[in-house]
Structure 1
Amino acid sequence: MKIKIMISALLLAMTSLTASEFIGYKGLTKELKAEAKKNGTFATAADVKEALKSKDWLVADVRTMEEWAGAHIPGSVRIGRQAPEKALALHVLDENNKFIKPNIIIVCNTASRAAIEAMSIKKLGFENVKIYGIEYWIDDCNPVETGYSSKSNKHGTKNKFGAFLAEHCYKK
Structure 2
Amino acid sequence: MSSSSHHAVLSRFYVSIFFSFFVLSAGGQIRNAPLTKIDAERASKNYQQYCALCHGTEREGNAADYAPSLRSKSLMSTMPLNFLASSIGFGRPNTAMAAYLSDSGGPLTMKDIFILATWLKHQSGAETISLPLKPIDGDPVAGSAVYQQNCTECHGVKAEGITAPALANPAFLAFATDEYIKYAIVNGRDNTEMQAFNEVLSDRQINDLTAYIRSLTSGWSPEPKELSPYPKPGAYVTNPNGDHPDFKLREGRYVPMKQVAKALKEGKRIVLLDTRTTSEWHNAHIPGAIPIPYYITEEKVDEGLPKDKTWIIAYCSCPHAASDKIINMLRKKGFKNTAVIDEGFFNWINAGHPIIGGKPE
Q: TM-score, normalised to structure 1's length?
A: 0.54
Alignment partner of 1:46 is 2:258: yes
Flag the 1:44–1:90 CA change in 2: closer, same or farther, 3 A: same
Deviation at 1:72, TM superposition (A): 0.2
Q: How does 1:30-41 map to 2 (within 5 A)?
A: 38-41=250-253
Q: Aligned partners of 1:88, 1:112: CA distance in 2, in Å? A: 18
Note the C-alpha offset of 1:100: 3.5
CA shift digits 1:4-54 (9 cap, x unpaired): xxxxxxxxxxxxxxxxxxxx7249xxxxxxxxx851421222332355433
Counterpart residue number, 2:300: 86
In the alignment of these two chains, the number of paired residues is 111
1:115 to 2:329 alignment: no
| C-alpha separation in 2, matches of 1:146 and 1:118 | 24
Q: Which has the higher strand share?
A: 1
Map residues 2-151 of structure 1 onto 2, 5 A cutoff: 25-26=63-64, 38-52=250-264, 53-55=267-269, 57-81=270-294, 82-83=296-297, 86=300, 88-92=302-306, 99-109=307-317, 110-132=319-341, 133-147=344-358
* Shift in CA distance, 121/50, structure 1 to aligned 2, threshold 3 Å: farther
Structure 1: which 5+ runs fail to align? 1-23, 28-36, 93-98, 148-155, 163-172
Paired residue secondary structure (1:119): helix
Confirm or deny: 8 A CA contact 2:282 2:357 kept in the other structure: yes
Per the normalisation by structure 2, the TM-score is 0.28
Contact 1:61 1:76 in 2 (8 A): yes
Distance 2:286 2:338 in 1: 18
> Bigger relative contact order, structure 1 or 2, given CA contacts below 8 A and separation 6+?
1
The one-character-per-residue Cα deviations of 1:65-123 (angstroms, maximum 9, x if unpaired) are 1111111000111122313653533131xxxxxx2354311111122211222222211
CA distance in 1, matches of 2:284, 2:312: 20
Q: CA deviation at 1:58?
A: 1.4
Give the gaps of 5 or more residues in structure 2.
1-61, 66-248
